[in-house]
Amino acid sequence: MGKDSIKLVANNKKARFDYFIEDTFEAGIALAGTEVKSLRMGKCSVKESFIRVEKGELFIYGMHISPYEKGNIFNKDPLRVRKLLLHRHEINKLTGKIAQQGYTIVPLQVYFKGSLVKVQIGLARGKKLYDKRQDIAKKDQRREAEKQFKVKNLY
């Protein structure tokens, strides 16, 4: 595995459906050794997780990393709060944006970059119900167009 090779561990598809992602950041994450081993096996979920700013630091809540089978007493709580590692100016930029109405920070994906675990986080604005309906309609149109194209090329 090279220095810049990326191996996806978990993806949060629901975040892109529920929010407009305006900006993305790459953050490190403070983990215990058994958690990293569990992540290497792909046992992670960020579906219900969210990110909060506390005392000038970012923390991720609700990120589930399954306990490592061979970890015995060294295993940590699967849903414990974990610290995200970003540069100070990035944290300041994010805190300034979420102070505005309607902005939040959501985790988008967890991946290995070389040997390091990274979390891609997004500065997001919530979608209204009609925005979601528009997205679904666009998806259906695209699917229908692909189906028509396939049928035409079949004959």
Q: Is 137 within the bounds of a domain?
A: no
Q: Is 123 within the bounds of a domain?
A: yes
CA distance 121 to 60: 10
pLDDT, tens only, 117-155 = 888 888 888 777 777 787 788 888 888 888 777 767 666
Q: What is the DSSP letter of 62?
A: S
Domain tally for the chain? 1
Strands (E), 1-153: 6-11, 19-29, 44-45, 50-54, 57-61, 64-65, 82-85, 103-113, 116-126
Q: Is 138 within the bounds of a domain?
A: no
Asked if 110 and 26 touch (Cβ cutoff 8 Å), the reply is: no
Q: Is 67 within the bounds of a domain?
A: yes
User: What CATH number is attached to the domain comprising 64?
Assistant: 2.40.280.10
Q: Is 152 within the bounds of a domain?
A: no
State residue 65's pLDDT score: 80
Q: Is 139 within the bounds of a domain?
A: no
Q: Is 141 within the bounds of a domain?
A: no
pLDDT, tens only, 42-82 = 788 788 888 888 888 889 888 888 777 776 666 666 678 88
CA distance 132 to 113: 32
Q: Is 96 within the bounds of a domain?
A: yes
* Domain encompassing residue 50: 6-127
> Using CB atoms within 10 A of its CB, is residue 89 exposed (0-12), middle (13-18) or buried (19+)?
exposed
Residue 113: pLDDT above 70?
A: yes
pTM: 0.71
